Amino acid sequence: MNTEPEGTMPLRAEADIVASRQHVRRLTQQLGFSLVDQTKMITAASELSRNTVTYGGGGEMQWALLEDGIKRGLRLRFVDQGPGIPDLTLALKDGWTSGKGMGLGLSGSRRLVHEFDIESTVGTGTCVSVTRWK
């Protein structure tokens, strides 16, 4: 692989959301993901990047290339120090939104990946981790 095995990129503005999608596209192509799997991971990254900027007040995307025996994968973590999510159960329901979105960001992203984890503390921020394996 010609990319570092892990890294971080800022998520503060619309341009950063676009850059995160482009970076995830490169990483999934490098890992040999199928076009469908690339699209799923890029879509999840786009939704979670937008949430980080819009609701978290900005933060960062951390990425790591993974190997587990013969499996290879990509883990993305979206971290912010925003207001946090008071009710994670509600936030993960389809159609729920705290803003003007369609309410598919968290729940939709969860369906697009193999592993999904979210931690959020009101007043401290949120960390969403997603992993997709090839």
Q: How far is CA 45 from each of CA 8, 70, 123, 128, rounded to the nearest angstrom?
A: 13, 24, 24, 10
Which whole number is the average pLDDT over 7-18?
97
- More confident site: 84 or 100: 84
Residue 106 in any domain: the answer is yes
Q: Where are the alpha helices (DSSP H) in 55-116?
A: 88-91, 105-112
Average pLDDT value for the chain: 91
Reduce the DSSP state of residue 19 to 3 states and report it.
helix
pLDDT score recorded for residue 104: 58
Which domain range does residue 124 map to? Answer: 6-133
Instruction: Give the total number of structural domains in the chain.
Output: 1
Integer Cα distance of 131 and 47 in angstroms: 14
Q: Is residue 49 part of a domain?
A: yes
Given this model, what pLDDT does residue 3 score?
67
Residue 1 within a domain: no
The answer to whether residue 107 sits within a structural domain is yes
Q: Is residue 122 part of a domain?
A: yes
Confidence (pLDDT) at 39: 96
CATH no. for residue 22?
3.30.565.10
Residue 129 pLDDT more than 90? Answer: yes
